[in-house]
């Protein structure tokens, strides 16, 4: 589509196909926007995902509203580690459970903090049944999207499925949070997995961000202070009140920030491992209490 190419859209043909699909809509829906209007919004710089109302993340179609942070594809690395950690917790606790009375005891508690529209929570819900899943964000609109997305992707447990017999259903709870402030006291020292993409762009790097992020996404979901680590440090410190003794904290951040974040964590008694993404820029920092 010439207008998209002229506007500098790298994947103009792919975006055009998505916009055409959005304009067509269901056959019985007369309220769909005009294609020219959608193209004009994209040409003005509005993120494609906010225009069409969804993003494809790890094979899931997640709802996205205007004005909320759009999950990046690099966060698939964090989602994969959260799924693995939740599955390990489920398996290890299940091996220790022997009766129906133990159901709540073996249910892993997973929190996606700074959840945005819930990409990590949706991945966990779709692949690990029987999770007590919590979502937290400061933006109410994003949190509403997250809860809807996660509920839509919960793995259905069918009676007679021998691999999942006796598994409890997944429970989803949303929290309006300031970092981790606002969580229920009942979760203290009991969260199995905390996964988060806190804002980690340094304020000094604002000029390097695309205009569609600066103009259409909340700055509070992008910037993490002068070095980008203000919210990362808060998350690490506050997590100590919420993590179970065998719990794990997973944080997405930039490769150049790993050393500082690791030093801060080890000073607080946490052991650190880092997992480098395929882009060689994104890292998932894995933190656990020292034995």
Give kind and range of the element (H or E) at residue 134: strand 132-137
Cα–Cα distance measured from residue 177 to residue 187, given in angstroms and rounded to the nearest whole number: 14
Q: How far is CA 170 from CA 109, 129, 151, 189, in A?
A: 10, 6, 9, 20
User: What was the pLDDT predicted at 14?
Assistant: 84
Give kind and range of the element (H or E) at residue 246: strand 243-254
By the 8 A CB rule, do 1 and 39 touch?
yes
- Encoding tokens for residue 278? 């395929």
Q: Tens digit of pLDDT for each residue in 233-251?
A: 999 999 999 999 999 999 9
pLDDT band per the 50, 70, 90 thresholds, residue 166: very low
Q: What would you report as the CA-atom Rg of the chain, rounded to the nearest whole angstrom?
A: 20
pLDDT band per the 50, 70, 90 thresholds, residue 188: very high
Write the CB contacts of 276 (distance below 8 Å, at least 6 apart in sequence). 255, 282, 283
pTM of the model: 0.90
Instruction: Please determine, for residue 162, whether its predicted confidence score (pLDDT) is greater than 90.
Output: no
Q: Tens digit of pLDDT for each residue in 64-117?
A: 999 999 999 999 999 999 999 999 998 876 665 554 445 555 689 999 999 999
User: What was the pLDDT predicted at 7?
Assistant: 59
Average pLDDT over the chain reads: 89
Nearest to 16 by CA among 44, 39, 49: 39
Longest dimension (CA), the chain: 64
User: What was the pLDDT predicted at 134?
Assistant: 98
Q: DSSP code of 221?
A: G
Q: Tens digit of pLDDT for each residue in 12-35?
A: 788 888 999 888 876 555 555 789
User: What was the pLDDT predicted at 238?
Assistant: 98
213-242: burial string, b at 16+ Cβ within 10 Å, e else: beebbbeebbbbbebbbbbbbbbbebbbeb
């Amino acid at each position: 589509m010439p207008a998209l190419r002229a506007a500098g859209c790298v994947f103009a043909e792919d975006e055009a196909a998505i916009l055409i699909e959005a304009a067509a809509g269901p056959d019985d829906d007369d309220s769909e926007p005009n294609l020219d209007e959608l193209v004009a919004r994209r040409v003005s710089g509005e993120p494609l995902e906010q225009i069409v109302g969804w993003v494809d993340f790890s094979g899931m179609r997640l709802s996205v509203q205007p004005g909320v942070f759009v999950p990046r594809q690099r966060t698939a690395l964090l989602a994969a580690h959260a799924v693995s950690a939740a599955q390990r917790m489920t398996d290890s606790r299940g091996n220790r459970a022997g009766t129906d009375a133990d159901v709540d005891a073996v249910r892993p508690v997973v929190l996606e903090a700074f959840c945005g529209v819930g990409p990590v929570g949706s991945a966990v819900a779709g692949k690990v049944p029987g999770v007590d899943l919590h979502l937290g964000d400061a933006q109410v609109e994003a949190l509403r999207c997250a809860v809807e997305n996660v509920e839509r992707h919960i793995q259905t447990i069918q009676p007679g499925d021998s691999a999942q017999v006796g598994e409890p259903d997944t429970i989803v709870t949303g929290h309006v949070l300031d970092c981790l402030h606002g969580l229920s006291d009942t979760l203290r020292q009991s969260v199995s997995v905390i996964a988060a993409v806190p804002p980690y762009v340094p304020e000094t790097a604002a000029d390097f961000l695309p205009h569609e992020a600066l103009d259409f996404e909340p700055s509070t979901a992008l910037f993490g202070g002068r070095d980008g680590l203000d919210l990362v440090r808060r998350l690490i410190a506050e997590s100590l009140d919420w993590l179970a003794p065998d719990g794990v904290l997973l944080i997405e951040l930039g490769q150049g920030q790993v050393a500082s974040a690791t030093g801060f964590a080890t000073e607080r008694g946490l052991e650190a491992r880092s997992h480098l993404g395929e882009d060689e820029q994104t890292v998932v920092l894995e933190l656990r209490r020292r034995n």
